[in-house]
Amino acid sequence: MKRRDFVSGLALAAGVSACAADDDTAASTGKTSVETFAWNMVTAWPPGLPGLGVGAENLATRLEAATGGRLKIKVFAGGELVPALEVFDAVRNGTAQMGHDSAYYHRGKVAAAQYFTAVPFGLNANEMNAWLYYGGGIELWQELYSPFGLVPFPAGNTGVQMLGWFNKEILSIEDIAGLKMRIPGMGGEVMQRAGATQVTVPASEIFTSLQTGAVDAAEWVGPYNDIALGLHKAANYYYYPGFHEPGPNIECIVNKEAWNTLPDDLQEIIRNTCQAINMDILSEYMWGNAMALDQLQKDPNVELRELPQDVFNELRRHATAAIEELSEKDEWSARIEKSVFDFMKKSSAYQKVSELAYLNMRVNGV
């Protein structure tokens, strides 16, 4: 066994230790490299957050187990190594080899990135996975991120989110005017077009912002995480549905230079493990949200409210305008939008006679 030399000056390789079999021995025995890699993963999530935070930790644990210890990953919650909303830059610059966050957090740097989390009135979770894995979505995503030196993978989904917690009733579109609302992505832009002020703060600051009146309303994910953050103690009105994030995909991003140091088998293990975590997180949210909503409905201080249909329709009008304007000024967004909405049109026709038809009969049946 002998040490393999590393490319000097590559900061990312500081976390890599190598011990490779002699080339002649490897060729004669057919054994693969036994290099080991020590990586850092930065995330946008509070430590121990159910679903997203725990999901990132599970991703690291499963990768170490699946690789037999050849890939070890240390996970940093949002704010521990870099600020929660700066995962993209940290991985791009090599501060960490891997990140776990939402693509729309960096829409200011890559406008089209938000399509790989969610756009208002867009794909639900099942449709998002179908488009990513079978509709060319991942290929478009990789092409979009390539100039930034990043390799992206789907690594979680929360399902349809709640619109959020409000300190006042929303009875008409006029009630949105003047609201200060914590809501990121294009959903925030839609609310802003309706008269609200968009505020973006990380999860760790939402409760305090809502409790102190720094914001009048806030969305996070759904009952499972909202209870974990204590948002039900800071506002009374809990509105649904979350038009802004109908099927938000969570990303795992890998620094391309770090990715290229990995042998083929470890790259394939990362692909497969991210896909497993994607399904695992979605399943956890399906269960956890159901349990948490049951708890909230028993809380006399929580008022669960459906957004009025006319308000929903008006927000959809604003969303359509926002998406059209984005496509007109950004070629990448136009390209991705066409791919997404061409599929969604066909999927909607199928959902009408499958999932939607079944759920309507199940929910409304005697």
For each of the chain's 366 residues, which pLDDT tens digit applies? 333 343 333 334 444 443 433 344 334 333 356 899 999 999 999 999 999 999 999 999 999 999 999 999 999 999 999 999 999 999 999 999 999 999 999 999 999 999 999 999 999 999 999 999 999 999 999 999 999 999 999 999 999 999 999 999 999 999 999 999 999 999 999 999 999 999 989 999 999 999 999 999 999 999 999 999 999 999 999 999 999 999 999 999 999 999 999 999 999 999 999 999 999 999 999 999 999 999 999 999 999 999 999 999 999 999 999 999 999 999 999 999 999 999 999 999 999 999 999 999 999 986
Q: What are phi and psi of 324, to 5 degrees?
A: -65, -40
With the CA atoms of 349, 351, 353 and 358 taken in that order, what torsion angle do they form, in degrees rounded to the nearest 10? -170
Q: How many angstroms separate the Cα of 51 from the Cα of each of 194, 197, 272?
A: 31, 28, 19
Superfamily of domain 161-244+303-329: Periplasmic binding protein-like II (3.40.190.10)
- The candidate with the shortest Cα–Cα distance to 235, out of 213, 202, 205, is 213
Q: How far apart are CA 189 and CA 319, in angstroms?
A: 8
pLDDT of residue 258: 98
Per CATH, 11-156+247-286 and 161-244+303-329 having the same topology is answered yes
Fold of 11-156+247-286: D-Maltodextrin-Binding Protein; domain 2 (3.40.190)
In the chain, where are the structural domains located? 11-156+247-286, 161-244+303-329
Q: How many CA atoms lie within 13 A of 3 on its CB side?
A: 5
In Å, how far from its chain's centre is CA 5?
37
- The candidate with the shortest Cα–Cα distance to 159, out of 303, 316, 278, 311, is 278
pLDDT of residue 32: 54
pLDDT of residue 34: 84
Q: How far apart are CA 120 and CA 364, in angstroms?
A: 27
User: Which of helix, strand or coil describes residue 234?
Assistant: coil
Q: Which residues contact 360 (CB under 8 A, 6 or more apart)?
A: none
